């Protein structure tokens, strides 16, 4: 579920800044821009559109995640401005790992680190990383570092730890000329 970037004065910040979350995590979605009225919209996996956040405080929507929060989110101002959309995936398996990857597109030439995390342990070693189902790293390092991202790095990533796999997440790469998106 990916929506195209829209040139806009509105933006959405996710904290913690990652696509995948565990159930019962506390996640904040903050709308930013020169507007006074905001709402966070959600397009869920089952195709439903939700127009309001259950717990909105000012311009921030606070979520205690459950499986039903796996969705595409974006901000909409009272005057109809939209932010770019972001994907959020909630891990239902409390014992499985999640992939820690950026919510927003990564700019070509920038560096990025992907890691694998358990609910009980944030830093893991001996992790397998996959890009589009192809093993790209298998060693004692707990993270996959890409020092200069290129368009060929775009795609689906997942990690595997102790025989258990995370869900896969799409990492989008944008050209340097698109930096103001």
Condensed to tens digits (0 to 9), the pLDDT of residues 123-178 reads 788 899 999 999 999 888 789 999 999 999 999 999 999 999 999 999 999 887 65
Q: Residue 56: which pLDDT band, with cuts at 50, 70 and 90?
A: confident
Share above pLDDT 90 across residues of the chain, in percent, rounded to a whole number = 62
Best CA proximity match to 97, nearest among 50, 37, 160, 180: 160
Q: What is the pTM of this model?
A: 0.84
Residue 109: predicted pLDDT: 95
Mean pLDDT computed over every residue of the chain:
88
Residue 15: predicted pLDDT: 95
161-166 contact pairs (CB < 8 A, 24+): 161/97, 161/116, 161/118, 161/124, 161/126, 161/127, 161/128, 164/93, 164/95, 164/96, 164/97, 165/96, 165/97, 166/20, 166/91, 166/96, 166/97, 166/98, 166/99, 166/116
Maximum Cα interatomic distance, the chain, rounded to a whole number of Å: 51
Which domains does the chain show, CATH number per domain?
11-91 (2.60.40.10), 98-174 (2.60.40.10)
Whether the pLDDT of residue 74 is over 70: the answer is yes
Residue 6: predicted pLDDT: 45
- What Rg do the C-alpha atoms of the chain give, in angstroms? 17
Tally of CB atoms within 10 A around 131? 20
Residue 156 near residue 168, CB atoms below 8 Å: yes
The secondary structure of residue 91, as a DSSP letter, is E
pLDDT in tens, 113-138: 999 999 888 778 889 999 999 999 98
Whether the pLDDT of residue 181 is over 50: the answer is no
What average pLDDT score do residues 108-117 get?
94
Cβ density class 33-45: b for 16+ within 10 Å, e for less: eebeebbbbbbee
Residue 139: predicted pLDDT: 80
């Amino acid at each position: 579920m990916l929506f195209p970037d829209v040139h806009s004065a509105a933006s959405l910040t996710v904290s913690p800044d990652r696509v995948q979350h565990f159930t019962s995590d506390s996640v904040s979605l903050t709308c930013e821009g020169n507007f006074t009225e905001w709402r966070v919209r959600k397009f869920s996996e089952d195709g439903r559109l939700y127009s309001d956040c259950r717990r909105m405080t000012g311009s921030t929507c606070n979520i205690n995640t459950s499986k039903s929060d796996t969705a595409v989110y974006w901000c909409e101002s009272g005057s109809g401005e939209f932010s770019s959309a972001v994907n959020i995936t909630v891990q239902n398996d409390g014992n499985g790992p999640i992939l820690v990857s950026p919510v927003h597109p990564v700019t070509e030439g920038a560096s990025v680190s992907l890691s694998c995390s358990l609910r009980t342990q944030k830093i893991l070693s001996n992790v397998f990383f996959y890009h589009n189902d192809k093993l790209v790293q298998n060693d004692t390092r707990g993270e996959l570092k890409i020092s200069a991202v290129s368009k060929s790095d775009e795609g689906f990533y997942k990690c595997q730890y102790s025989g258990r796999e995370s869900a896969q997440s799409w990492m989008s790469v944008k050209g340097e000329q698109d930096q103001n998106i």
